[in-house]
Chains A and B, each alone.
Chain A
Amino acid sequence: MSLTDQSAFDIAHKIQRGELAAVDVLDAALERIAAVDGRPGALDYGPLTQEDQTKVHAFITLTADRARQKAERVDARISSGEDAGALAGVPITIKDLFCLKGVPTTAASRILSNFVAPYTATAIERLEDAGAVVLGKVNMDEFAYGSSNESSAFKPTTRNPWDLTRVPGGSSGGSAAAVASGQGCLSVGTDTGGSIRQPAAYCGVVGLKPTYGRISRYGVIAFASSLDCPGPLARNVRDAALMLSVMAGADTRDSTAVRLPVPDYLAGIDRGVKGMRIGLSKDYLQISYPDPDTGETIMEDLPAEIRNMTLRAAETLAAEGAEIVENVPMPNSIYGIPAYFVISRVEASSNLHRFDGVKYGYRARASGGDLAELYRLTRAEGFGLEPKLRVLMGMYMSGGQLSLQYFQRALQARSMIRADFETAFDPDGPYRLDVLLTPTAPTPAFKMGDFYGDSTLMQYSDQLTVSANHAGVPALSIPGGLSAEGLPMGLQLIGPDFAEATLFRAGYAFEQATADADWRAVKPCVLAEVE
């Protein structure tokens, strides 16, 4: 097994004890990248070659030299007896939505293709301060608008390491694919409607959307500011907990970052689920979506293998001592996607205003110095399909009287969704849940090209994840098994505000209880060739 396939926890400990050199871990990671990733995403990508279709393409920007300097500094600290940090020498990747000083930060968009960030995001700063070694910036949906990575302006877009004809999910698809294929141990993503959890599920890794405000958003290019949550992607629950411990906490540069002390998420992670009340909800075992032709809402049960995975997981946890509470009503979940459609687009259209060609990023050549033409051309040429759709929808739904019909109603729906969770988690209420157990996504990873271009249907792959964003509560996605086609399926654990430690404890218990399961031994296909 390559060094890069070890857990972040083990690597950091070995480096801290001087049993392992950070540069050796870095070399292993770079070797893996060279073996599986193929060419990085680029604007001028030319035709897709045969070889391209056999690679993951997680990266947009590889920062190997910078990484080597950081790794050498970690080793120097260790040899001089200094504390090198909780993530000493752990190779990580960063979704290209986070600013990293001196490194291109593109949001996978042409409009920022030439933007080099002059400052570093708080979450990244904390990871680097803890000794993490940043390998580079990974691909994503343009401005995080999507669930498949296909909307990136940087191509080839990321492929699923388990099946290279399938999407890795999105928008943090590059992050999930990198972690799954051993291109670093950890990755930082963002989750606005499921953008960490859905790709984590599709790529068979662990992904956490923390409570809103748990991790600072400073330095994260905004998608929908009231929903955006940075969070960790890792190959196991403990690594995700370790990563959250480093990233979480108040930030003087983000007033929405909560001023609550950060617990040690590793302490007590192995205390098990005995006595924990874990809920199941029928509202999370079905999906509703609009008929593409008639627009009517279709209600459908989830595929049997997704339902069965969820119920089996409940049995496993029950066997570990958890109390399963069935039939927890979450009736307002059906409004999750429509409300998200409105709120996220209204905020996104406003957040995109600043990309106007005046200050930074792509600028079109406008003739005759006409300002309106400069704006029009810059945005027409700089934005891809998804940003344009979102600007149009967002501006439409927040304009004048329509704001009442759409935006204000969506905010009401959001409050109702929040109320569902409050009832479910109320310690004096009828359900008194510690955790709600659901599938993460309605299906395993779909084929590239299946939905791309239909942003409504694409959105519905986030149906089971989006409510946690509306409500602001934390939700963890962990691998729950493999489908008949051998594709990963994700389990989601949702808890009340700031109950990340509970989620980690439940997730870890499930991981331990299924450690010897057959599906755990199966690895992504891209790794078969490197071993």
Chain B
Amino acid sequence: MMNPLAVPDQHRNKDGLMADFEAVIGLETHIQLNTVTKIFCSCKADSWQDPPNTNICPVCAGLPGVLPVLNEAAVYKGALLAAAMHAEIRLVSYFDRKNYFYPDLPKGYQISQFDLALGDGGYLDVTMPGGFVRRVNITKLHLEEDAGKTKYEGGQRLVDFNRCGVPLVEMVTEPDLRSADEAAQYLIRLRQLLRWLGVSEADMEKGHLRCDANVSIRTAGSTYLNTKTEIKNVNSIEAVRAAINMEIERQVSLVQAGGQVESWTLDWDETRQRLNKMRSKETEADYRYFREPDLLPLELTSEWRDAVIQNLPELPLERQLRFMTRYQLPEYDADILTADRPIADYYEAALTAYGTDPKILSNWIMNEVLRMQNELGLSADALTLTPEYLAEVIRLVDAGTINAATGKALLVKVQQSGQPPQAIVAAEGLSQVSDDSALQSVIDAVLAAHPQEVESYRGGKEGLFGWFMGQVMRQTRGQADPAKTRALLQKALQGKR
């Protein structure tokens, strides 16, 4: 089937499609807050894998006569996010009705916030792949309820209300992003922040974090805004990147061919990796917003607001910078060690226990602990290998009690058994063989067993040295101190005993 929105080959500019244009992108995100219950009733908020319409009550199913009652936990999480986005938390905000008909919207209106929302303004500073920091401004940050889901099956439209009333924060950026990569990076950082704050699971595949992208192009360097298109249904970072790139390419070739971008809504088809036109958007829908009379104005005290701000943890970027300045870590290390809060906390706890070189510790974590985490699918705070045990293992290596290879294997044993490293070393006799006489007798035995190889070596085949090292290591099950072995072996082979 032909892709109606594909760029015809003859319009592709081989010398660089984007030379004369820049993309202007704004993202509209919907963030599911991870509260226990829904925003206006006491149904459980998380319905993942629950059968359809099993997690509903008269309130979220919009029966006649029901009323919403605001969940304070949703307000708290929304305010925490607003604070982290440097938005002003309004002490008085309002809920409004957004009226429209859709079968999965049981009341026929969505309770949302319109002109006086919980958050006012705000921004997120995002370090872009090129190394510069882009400030992405926020135009809208408000609380609202989620709608249900509609699906089509066997020619029927089926509606599942389980998701109705799940608390959402809708957050809309200014058109501050300039490429698909920047948009992807914003989402990566937003996802990191949401998990960091503990306000959302932020799993795009599960719809915890949903994104629509508004895309337009303009002559590079200009400041006006052209007609934009809106891309919907992009539910992974990669999809956002691919869809935006495709749309930029389409707009550029359209304009280069003398055409004009029209205000369309586009649907991203994940399976076919292409954009489909959903509808032309000539006029803004009229949602007839008005104050929700069933809820009182949301009034917060300044004490409450101050407490929210006080409870705000050190944010990822701040922590990354602190790791760089205080521990002299390279940016690369600091970024990885602040990927999420558990790993950052793990690093700092291990550093306290270890007491010395932050970079050595960083290497151990980035190489060994992160690999272990990935293999086990555990976050750092769930490891049996505590930061204190890790520090103990590294100290054993530093002291020469065990070598590095044993140290790495020991980490796995600690994780598997939960035993302290020292105990495992003692029980399994893992201490390095550095006793000269013990090592000497192993070397003597090896040489005695291989007289021909000794003769060849002595006759000039010095390349055999590594083979002798290997034999000794095998005999000592790798616990021989490599430096000491090398010295003793050289003496023995030269017949200088």
Closest chain B CB from A348 CB (angstroms): 11
Which residues on B sit within 8 Å (CB–CB) of A360?
63-64
A254's contact among B61, B67, B106, B155, by CB below 8 Å, is which?
Answer: B67
> Are A353 and B99 closer than 8 Å at their CB atoms?
yes
Question: Any chain A CB within 8 A of the CB of B355?
Answer: no
- With A107-B64, A219-B65, A254-B69 known as contacts, the answer to whether A350 contacts B97 (CB < 8 A) is yes
CB within 8 Å of A: which B30-84 residues:
58-59, 61-70
Q: Is the interface of A mostly helix, strand, loop or mixed?
A: loop
CB within 8 Å of A: which B103-157 residues:
103, 106-109, 155-157
> Are B101 and A222 closer than 8 Å at their CB atoms?
no
Which residues on A sit within 8 Å (CB–CB) of B69?
252-255
B109's contact among A119, A353, A375, A400, by CB below 8 Å, is which?
Answer: A353
Closest chain B CB from A37 CB (angstroms): 26
Question: Any chain A CB within 8 A of the CB of B207?
Answer: no
- With A226-B293, A256-B295 known as contacts, the answer to whether A359 contacts B61 (CB < 8 A) is yes
- With A398-B290, A399-B286, A403-B290 known as contacts, the answer to whether A221 contacts B65 (CB < 8 A) is yes
Q: Give the CA-CA distance A252 to B99 in the complex, in Å.
A: 26
Closest chain A CB from B288 CB (angstroms): 4
B63's contact among A119, A356, A400, by CB below 8 Å, is which?
Answer: A119
A353's contact among B68, B107, B157, by CB below 8 Å, is which?
Answer: B107
With both beta carbons as reference points, the residue of chain B lying nearest to A252 in the complex is identified as B69
Question: Any chain A CB within 8 A of the CB of B20?
Answer: no
Question: Any chain A CB within 8 A of the CB of B296?
Answer: yes
Which residues on B sit within 8 Å (CB–CB) of A255?
67-70, 294-296
With both beta carbons as reference points, the residue of chain A lying nearest to B103 in the complex is identified as A358
Question: Any chain A CB within 8 A of the CB of B159?
Answer: yes
> Are B62 and A354 closer than 8 Å at their CB atoms?
yes
How many B residues are at the interface, by size bracket?
20 to 34
CB within 8 Å of A: which B404-452 residues:
none
Q: Give the CA-CA distance A371 to B293 in the complex, in Å.
A: 29
Max count, chain A CB within 10 A of own CB: residue among B61, B67, B68? B67
Q: Give the CA-CA distance A253 to B66 in the complex, in Å.
A: 8
Question: Any chain B CB within 8 A of the CB of A220?
Answer: yes
- With A356-B103, A358-B159 known as contacts, the answer to whether A350 contacts B67 (CB < 8 A) is no
Question: Any chain B CB within 8 A of the CB of A446?
Answer: no
Closest chain A CB from B199 CB (angstroms): 23
Mark contacts of A107-123 with chain B using CB atoms, 8 A cut-off: 1 yes-contact digit, 0 otherwise: 10000100101110100
Q: Give the CA-CA distance A369 to B146 in the complex, in Å.
A: 25
Which residues on A sit within 8 Å (CB–CB) of B99?
350, 353
B101's contact among A99, A254, A353, A403, by CB below 8 Å, is which?
Answer: A353
Question: Any chain B CB within 8 A of the CB of A505?
Answer: no
B65's contact among A222, A371, A407, by CB below 8 Å, is which?
Answer: A222
Q: Give the CA-CA distance A107 to B64 in the complex, in Å.
A: 10
CB within 8 Å of B: which A191-232 residues:
217-222, 224-226
A400's contact among B67, B286, B293, by CB below 8 Å, is which?
Answer: B286
Question: Any chain B CB within 8 A of the CB of A347?
Answer: yes
Closest chain A CB from B156 CB (angstroms): 8
* B contact residues vs A (CB 8 Å cutoff): 58-59, 61-70, 97, 99, 101, 103, 106-109, 155-157, 159, 286, 288, 290, 293-296
Give 8 pairs: A residue, B residue, CB < 8 Å, sorted on A: A107-B64, A119-B58, A253-B66, A255-B294, A255-B296, A354-B62, A358-B103, A375-B101
* A contact residues vs B (CB 8 Å cutoff): 98-99, 105, 107, 112, 115, 117-119, 121, 217-222, 224-226, 252-256, 346-347, 350, 352-356, 358-360, 369, 371, 375, 395, 398-400, 403, 407
4 more A-B residue pairs beyond the given contacts A224-B293, A399-B286, with a C-beta to C-beta distance below 8 A: A99-B65, A219-B66, A220-B65, A346-B290
